Amino acid sequence: MQLHGGPSYSGFAAVSKSDTTTLNCRAIFCGGAGNLALSVDDTTTAVTITGVIAGQVLPIQLNGGRIMSTNTTATNIAIFY
């Protein structure tokens, strides 16, 4: 039996946290638990999502956004695009 209707991605990449590097993605994976500070585009103030679970995929789209070094404690972060 195949499951249908879930998200599909064309690729993925490991990322380093940065307060200046911009990214485009359709989802974010956190391999290690912690907090994730991000800005979804170049005009939005960063927000911190607390208590991200290890292995969690967050369906958050970034359009020129940033995964901030400041206030991010989650580790092993990758993006899906």
Q: What's the CATH number where 39 sits?
A: 2.60.120
Domain extent at residue 50: 12-80
What is the H or E stretch that residue 56 is in?
strand 56-58
The total of structural domains in the chain comes to 1
**Do 54 and 77 form a contact (C-beta atoms < 8 A)?**
no
The pTM of the full predicted model, rounded to 2 decimals, is 0.89
Q: Could you tell me if residue 4 is inside a domain?
A: no
**Do 28 and 37 form a contact (C-beta atoms < 8 A)?**
no
Give dist(CA 43, CA 39) in Å, integer: 8
| pLDDT tens digits for range 3-56 | 566 778 999 999 999 999 999 999 999 999 999 999 999 899 999 999 999 999
Q: Could you tell me if residue 55 is inside a domain?
A: yes
